[in-house]
Amino acid sequence: MTHLTITDNQKGTKLPNADTKDLENLKLISNVKISDLSNSNHNLLVFPQDSNQYGDNINESCILSLSGEEISTGNIMGFIGVNETQLTIKSRFDRNNPDYFMHYMLQKVFSINLFDMKHSKSTEPIFDFLIYLFPYYLKKALAQGLFKKYQRFEHNDANVRGTINVTQHIRQNIPFHGTVAYTTREHSYDNEITQLVRHTIEYIRLKEAGKTILSSDSETKNCVSQIVMATPSYNNQKRVQIINQNLRPIRHPYFSEYTTLQKICLQILQHEAIKFGEEKDQVYGVLFDGAWLWEEYLNTILKPLGFKHPENRINVGGIRMFDNQYDENHFDKCHRRLYPDFYSEKDKMILDAKYKHLDGDVGREDLYQVVTYMHCMKYQLGGYLYPADKDCQFISYKLAGMGGEIKVIPLRIPQATQNWDDFIKDMKSYENKFISLL
């Protein structure tokens, strides 16, 4: 197994330590749309799940492209494996650390504890992270309730309340001794989905940090207890059988969050088979849209300050562009509404998240967008938030005409820290300075 590392948004960079076999493996995903890879490889997770509606339509983009020995990447970060080659794509704003900044954002967004994770020494970053990701999606799924489905049960007693099973009755109850064989169809929490989750829980318990992961907070402990209580028929010897029963993705209009949880459980339980199985040209891993991850990370900082984060991808939390609400329905077919990344009604401020180097140089379209938001919402403050891998100055511009102020605010990312604890400490310090500039 070969482990390689590169950053996002690289152009024509030679991949260090890659041999001919690694390049051959990576060519299998070179210039292939993420939607095509995800549809044909059920062991590949892409975040956000609805990638056509989030970020910059990442479904149509590629993870990487190869030209000879030179590799180019886009806004995608994460961990991907192709056969025996594993590739970590870390943030370009974390040039001199193992991959601390990406892990830090993932920790904040998914509310997971990576305190014990040895990033630089991990031999299986793909599967290690899936285990840490499991509690987040367990809680999301259980927020919709325990998964239940109709199950068929066989009975043989005197309290007939279902369909008589004639064949079974003749076999068991002739000569007649007071019982009747029958079947019922009832809702049950003990089914192949909850059993899959239970097997994953028991598997994680055996890992070095498993008990810590499953008891990281009271909500996680409660969710684990619910699954254990709902699966009294759990049998460790039936793991392969349960996995096979879950190979078809679940599609349920109410229990929608179980789809991703099912996929994560399968990857965790099958990771040895995925890595060393006989299937040729296997692609597996977990990937994140960098722009989406940066925006969601910023939300963990800004939400406690009272900023709202409209969900423009699902049309929730938008602001009317027209004074008359009926005009937006007739102006054009797009039903014009405003979806700034962040806004504060208290501070009268609009903020736009940019996962790219700005250094005070804001593009025309980005400028027009924020100024439009400010005008329609009658706010006097606007700004752009971006990560910086070097010392960048906070810049403020005064607007003519209607007046107002535009801020360009960098969030400094620590470089070349000695360890994970030092990185977290420095990030907290930079975050406090960042907040003071808002």
Express each pLDDT in 61-80 by its tens digit.
Answer: 899 999 888 899 999 999 99
Give the pLDDT score at 320: 65
Rounded Cα distance, 424 and 182, in Å: 62
3-state DSSP call for residue 97? coil
Q: Which residues of 348-368 are buried (b: 16+ CB within 10 A; e: fewer)?
A: ebbbbbbbbbbeeebeeeebe
Helix (H) or strand (E) holding 338: strand 337-338
Segment 22-27 long-range contacts (CB within 8 Å, at least 24 positions apart): 22/85, 23/66, 23/69, 25/82, 25/83, 25/84, 25/85, 26/64, 26/66, 26/71, 26/82, 26/85, 26/87, 27/66
Give the pLDDT score at 53: 44
Across the beta sheet with 163-164, the strand order is: 149-157, 180-188, 163-164
Give the pLDDT score at 338: 72
Distances (CA, A) of 164 to 150, 172, 178: 18, 13, 14
Give the pLDDT score at 317: 53
Helix (H) or strand (E) holding 141: helix 125-142
Give the pLDDT score at 51: 47
- Mind listing the pLDDT tens digit for each residue in 321-346? 666 666 556 655 555 567 889 999 99
Q: Which of 106, 438, 423 is nearest to 304 (CA)?
A: 438
Give the pLDDT score at 194: 95
Q: Which of 284, 270, 404 is nearest to 25 (CA)?
A: 284
Extract the residue ranges of the chain whose pLDDT is less than 50.
Answer: 51-55, 119-121, 314
Give the pLDDT score at 159: 78
Give the pLDDT score at 152: 75
Give the pLDDT score at 54: 42
Give the pLDDT score at 140: 92
Q: Please give the model's pTM, rounded to 2 decimal places.
A: 0.82
Strands of 24-148, DSSP E? 44-47, 64-67, 70-73, 76-82, 85-90
3-state DSSP call for residue 43? coil
